[in-house]
Each structure stands twice: as C-alpha cells, then as structure tokens.
Amino acid sequence: MSTPLEFLQSVFGYAVFREPQQEIIETVVDGGDALVLMPTGGGKSLCYQIPAIARKGCGIVISPLIALMLDQVKALRQVGIKASYLNSTLDADSAAEIEQSLISNDLDLLYIAPERLCQERTLSLLGRSNIALFAIDEAHCVSQWGHDFRADYLQLSILHQRFPKIPRIALTATADARTRKEIIERLDLGHAKQFIAGFDRPNIRYRITLKINAKQQLLRFLQDEHPNDAGIIYCLSRKKTEEIAFWLQQQGYKALPYHAGLNSEIRADHQSRFLHEDGIIIVATIAFGMGIDKPDVRFVAHLDMPKTIESYYQETGRAGRDGEPSDAWMAYGLQDIIKLRQMMASSNGSEQHKRVEQHRLNAMLGLCEITSCRRQTLLNYFGETQEQPCGNCDTCLEPVNTWDGTKAARMALSAAYRTGQRFGVSHLIDLLRGAETEKIRQFQHHQLPTYGVGRELEINQWRSVFRQLVARGYFSVDLEGFGALRLEEKCRPLLRGDTQVKLRQDNPRRKAKQQTKNVLPAEIDIALWEALRDCRRVLAEEQKVPPYVIFHDRTLQEMCLILPENLAEFGRINGVGERKLEKYGPVFLQAISTHFSTRAISEH
Ligand code: ADP
Ligand code: ZN
C-alpha cells in the first residue's frame, strides 16, 4: 500500500506536506480520532481525503455547505478520486444510484449534509456499508455561540455511538478556546488527538484606514492594487451592497450584489459567476461567504466595521487561500462605532449577552485604533503570541505616531458634561472651536467656559479625538439615534488629572508603501501566461468547473518558469498529479510549444 506521502505526490501532485498534515493523516489512517484546528487555506481537506483513499471503505464527509459539494466533488474527480455527494438537491433516482455505489464499495469519498446524515434511513445505509472514516467539516457549527450554529450538528455525537470503531476527524478554522471545548464535548471527542496549527495568515496584509470618503477610497484601492482581481466587499446593509455594486459597475468593474434578500436564483447565479469567472467582485452582507472556498480571492474589503474580531478574521480569511499575497482592507470611522454601539444597546438579548457582545465590540474597536502591529493583536486575541511585529500590516509598514491627547480629551469630556450630555459630536466640536451656529446661539452655548477653548485643533483632529474616546469607552452614545455623548465612569481619573491618554495620530493619506501589487514574477512571459490561462478557461468551460479546479495560478506560473518540454518534466510541476498529467499534460505542452513557434515566426 502507498504511504500518505506517495498519495500526496501521485494523486495531488504536491511535493511535501505542510505542518501538521502528515501527523494528522497518520493518526486517522491508524484508526485514531483527531480534532484539527487550522487556518483557512491551511490544507484541511487533504487531512481527510488522503486517509479516505488510504483506508478501506468510503470516507464520509459531513459538511453544511451544500452549495459547494458539487464543486468539491468535481475537483476530486479531476485527480481521479471516486467522489459523490448526497443532499437535498439530488432527485430520488440519482440518490439511489449513489447509495448503491456506496454499498458496493465503489466510492472513495461521500459528502453528506448533516440533516440527511442524522436520518435513520441514512444511518442504516451506513451500517450496511464499508466506512473508512467520518470527517466533520466546519465543526464549529456545533457551537451555539457562533453565528454558524446548525442544530443538526448537535446530533452528530450519534456517529460515535453507532460506529464506535470508525475514526472521526473534526475540522474547523475557528480559533477560540470556548468553541474548541464545545466541539470536544458535543461531538464526544474527549479522546481525540488535537492538532492546533498556528492561526496566522502571513500572506494577508491587514490594513485599516480612516474613512473619509469611503467610495472614493475604495475606488482608489481597486484601481491601484486590484484592477482585474476577484474580491469580496462587505457592507452592513442590503441596500448598500446594491448601491455599491451598481456604482462599481458604472466604474467598469464586474461587481455583483449578494444578500439574503435577493431571490435564491439571483444569489446562486452571482455566487456561481464569482466562482467560475475571473475577476468578479461580490458586494455582500455577511450572508455571503460561509465556506466560499475559492482559492484566488485577492482582496476582502470592509466598508463597514464587523461587530467582532471573530467575524473580521473569518471574513478577511476568505482572501488568499492559495497562499498568494492578498489584502484585507477596511475603511472605518466614527459613524461605524456609533452605529454598532447603538445596534448593540437596542438589541433585545439578555444583559449578560449584551455584556459579552459589548466586550467583543470593544476588542474590535481596539484593533482599529491600535498603533502597534495589527497581526500581533489579532493573534493575541486568539491566544497566540507572535514575538516580532509582522512587517505585513499597515502599522508595521508605516508606523503611526501618537500624541499626548490628555488636554484635548479633558476639553472634549467637559464640553459634553457642561452641555448636559445631550449633544452629538458635531455640535460639541462647534462648541470647542467657537463656531457661530444657529444651535450654539439657541442654547446659549457661547456663554460656556469651554466655548472656543479648542481652536488650536482642526475639525478633523477633533473628530479623531472624539472617535478615539468613544472607541475606548470614555463616552457612550445614547440610544435615541441623535448620537448624544454621555460620560462613562472611566472618565473620572482623566478629569481629575490622575491619568493621561495617548492618542493615535490619524494620517489618512498614507499609502504609498502599503500597496500589494499582485504582479507576476518578473521572469514570466506575459503572453505565454495569457495563453495558458486561455487554455485553462476553455477546459474549465467544457467541463463546467471553476478554472482553479483545472490548475491553480501557482501551477500555471510554474509552467511559465520551467517551460516543460515533455510529460516527465510537466509531471514534476507542483499541482500536477498522475491523473492531471495524463489528462492535461499534452494540451498544455502543446499550448507552450505553439506559443514559442508563433513567436519564432513573428520574430523572423
Ligand atoms: P482549508 O480547507 O484548510 O481552508 P484547503 O484544504 O482548501 O484549505 O487547502 C488550501 C489550498 O492549499 C488548496 O488549494 C490545496 O490544494 C493546497 N494545499 C494543501 N496542502 C498542500 C500541500 N501539502 N502542498 C501544496 N499545496 C497544498
Ligand atoms: Zn504588523
């Protein structure tokens, strides 16, 4: 029998395992249970795919992502693995056919939706079949805390009761310890070996920029850095996703909206175009993305701030699963904080729930406002330490200055206090800067001692002060929607002069050093690259699969660099296993040689 490494090379065409794939695979091949926590793009799928082909019988994969099963199955068939799926999209005849091939040992891998798996009918079918393993993908769906909770996942402990001898492997990219504990308890995985890979996504560049004119900032970001790339833009409201998508279309981008209010056909169409065409931008609410495993998403942009670091990390994590440089870009400002604080305060959860939410929002705000490395803060939040600043986030690339904001903060607090804590930021800034407005006269605020004491700071600087004071919880924002600022307990020592505050010096125009241009390696012949991409596109269209299912960009790039002349050389390229060598080697070799002969002719 082949070793896991031999399978990796011959089937998938990869030279070496990544950490800790090999150990996981060996554990499961030997019949042990495993709990795998690995970041998105870390290579979780191979951890159950290889044991499934190495062990006798069929590997059963439980996944909530019905929409993706077909593409996953197609990708596996491309490398010669006998894969299928059972879910509600199949008609009875096709389902019966698949069940039959399971019983007659004719499958390597079978994807099943959790609600179907838990039916007695399915369990008895499994009882009559030869099962290699159970893989429980997206295992965090058992967690009632997370927003991906699936009630059906709670029933999955039944697998252990019904099939105690069959190894189980649970996989997730969700990092926090509480979720991990829940997975172990609910899936009865107390004895499983745990594999916790680092959560860092080193190829993602984190940037959080101050929101001034979000649309123009977004446009500049796209023009300068991602003119033809696929990406996701997240907005808070459905209306805004449509508005932004439409506006981007007018600017010449292939942008499509996606939210839960669109009818399911449109949603499916937009998702499918995103997966199958090059360079589509999806403008979406959080309804989009769960399990989108398109590997070449080059950027994730946030036009509104997510409520928690967990969401931020999960959403930004959809960029760069293929390991190539990618951007997580966000524009954020005072309005985001006010909006989220209000949403949270007016939600009708329990007090304890609200406190937890408040705490998580504060952590998110902290991430936006820090002046040190963003990645260190992110990883730290998930309980991981990274000794050195990362060098691949905005604050590392262009360090942010701080200034002593104690005096300004006190002025701001006292302006709010002396006006009865009934006014919002704009009016307080007018007051501090001694503006002569209708409202100032109406409330006789020009007679207050704080009137005009803050002329030395400009409006933008004051906005920055207020934003940071709200973000850090010195001020709370009232519920009625007028955004009046109230002083919090935390202000006391500051007003008494017992503490100081250091504030971030905002500088929204920084950017030069931060651009990630996703340029091809300089040695690559662009015309050849385009020719190979065309070749891939034609093959993908013929088989109705996304282009990356044929070959990843990385594999095409290697072809351009190595310029293989025969099948043996072609077979050594990363991502070319035996099946793809046989199926696609001749076509791509032909494309390469055609490219050189036409070039030779045109040069003569
Ligand atoms: P995850 O499910 O953890 O998000 P995937 O299993 O989709 O990640 O893997 C991400 C990408 O990395 C895929 O394109 C996969 O083919 C590739 N990959 C996984 N393991 C290896 C490896 N050992 N060598 C090279 N590429 C790998
Ligand atoms: Zn950094």
Task: Report how far residue 254's alpha carbon sits from residue 278's, in angstroms, rounded to the nearest whole number.
Answer: 9
Pick the ligand that lies closest to the CA of residue 391: 2
- For the cut 90, the answer to whether the pLDDT of residue 110 exceeds it is yes
The answer to whether the CB of 293 is under 6 A from ligand 1 is: yes
- Of 383 and 269, the one with more pLDDT: 269
- Ligand 1 contact, 41 CB (< 6 A): yes
Question: Which segments of 55-136 does DSSP mark as H helices, in order?
Answer: 66-78, 92-103, 114-117, 120-127
Asked whether 254 and 281 are in contact (CB, 8 A), the reply is: yes
Torsion of CA 236, 238, 240, 242, to 10 degrees: 140
- The helix (H) or strand (E) run that includes residue 559 is helix 553-562
pLDDT at 573: 95
Q: What ligand is nearest to the CA atom of residue 373?
A: 2
Q: What is the rounded CA–CA span in Å between residue 143 and residue 175?
A: 12
Atom 24 of ligand 1, nearest CA residue: 14
Tokens of 457: 């700071």
Handedness of CA 127, 129, 132, 136 (dihedral sign): negative
Residue 518 has pLDDT above 60, yes or no: no
How far is CA 452 from each of CA 167, 329, 432, 467, rounded to the nearest angstrom? 72, 37, 5, 20
Domain ranges of the chain: 4-196, 204-397, 402-504, 526-603
Q: How far is the CA of 394 from the centre of ligand 2 (A)?
A: 7
CATH of region 4-196, choose from 3.30.43.10, 3.40.50.300, 3.10.350.10, 3.20.20.70: 3.40.50.300
The order of strands in the sheet holding 299-302 is: 204-210, 326-332, 299-302, 231-234, 281-284, 255-258
159 token code pair: 């697998």
Distance 153 CA to ligand 2 centre (A): 37
Q: pTM for the full model?
A: 0.80
> What's the pLDDT tens digit per position in 327-378?
999 999 988 988 888 888 777 888 888 888 888 898 999 999 999 999 999 9
- Quick one: pLDDT at residue 351? 84
CATH topology match: 4-196 vs 402-504: no
Helical (H) or strand (E) element with 489:
none
Write out pLDDT tens, residues 235-275.
Answer: 999 999 999 999 999 999 999 999 999 999 999 899 989 98
Q: Distance, CA 369 to ligand 1 centroid (Å)?
A: 33
Could you please state the CATH topology (level 3) that the domain comprising 204-397 is classified under.
Rossmann fold (3.40.50)
CB of 65 closer than 6 A to ligand 1? no
Q: Tell which CATH classification among 1.10.760.10, 1.10.287.1080, 1.10.150.80, 2.60.40.10 matches the domain 526-603.
A: 1.10.150.80
CA of 361 to the centre of ligand 2 (A): 21
Kindly tell me if the per-residue pLDDT of 517 is higher than 60. Answer: no
Query: What tens digit of pLDDT does each residue of 95-105 get?
Result: 999 999 999 99
pLDDT of residue 113: 93
CB-based contacts of 234, cutoff 8 Å, min separation 6: 284, 285, 286, 288, 300, 301, 302, 303, 304, 306, 315
| pLDDT tens profile 580-604 | 999 999 999 999 999 988 877 776 6
Q: What's the CA gap between 197 and 189, in Å, rounded?
A: 18
Confidence at 94, pLDDT banded by 50, 70, 90 = very high
- Of ligand 1's listed atoms, the one at least distance from the Cα of 295 is 14
Dihedral sign, Cα of residue 131, residue 137, residue 139, residue 142 = negative
Position in ligand 1 atom list of the atom nearest CA 16:
23
Q: Is 167 in the pocket of ligand 1 (CB under 6 A)?
A: no
Tokens of 204: 């993602």
pLDDT of 353: 83
The verdict on the CB of residue 289 being under 6 Å from ligand 1 is no
Question: DSSP letters of 298-366?
Answer: -EEEESS--SSHHHHHHHHTTS-TTSS-EEEEEEE-HHHHHHHHHHHHHS-S-HHHHHHHHHHHHHHHH
Domain 402-504 adopts which CATH fold? Arc Repressor Mutant, subunit A (1.10.10)
Q: What are the pLDDT digits (tens) for 424-439? A: 999 999 999 999 999 9
DSSP label of 207? E
Distance of CA 123 to the CA centre of its chain: 34
Secondary structure string (H, E, C) spanning 209-268 = EECCCHHHHHHHHHHHHCCCCCEEEECCCHHHHHHHHHHHHHCCCCEEEECCCCCHHHHH
Out of 5, 6, 46, 195, mutate this one to test ligand 1's pocket (max ligand atoms within 8 Å of CB): namely: 46
Task: Categorize the per-residue pLDDT at 414 as very low, low, confident or very high, splitting at 50, 70 and 90.
Answer: very high
Mutation probe of ligand 1 site: the residue of 5, 6, 12 with most atoms within 8 A of C-beta: 12
- Return the SS3 of 197: coil
Q: Tell me how far the alpha carbon of residue 399 lies from the centroid of ligand 1, in angstroms.
A: 33
Q: For 83-92, 349-358, 380-389, 491-500, which range has the lowest pLDDT when averaged over its residues?
A: 349-358
Do 432 and 453 contact (CB within 8 A), yes or no?
A: yes
**Cα 296 to middle of ligand 1, angstroms:** 12
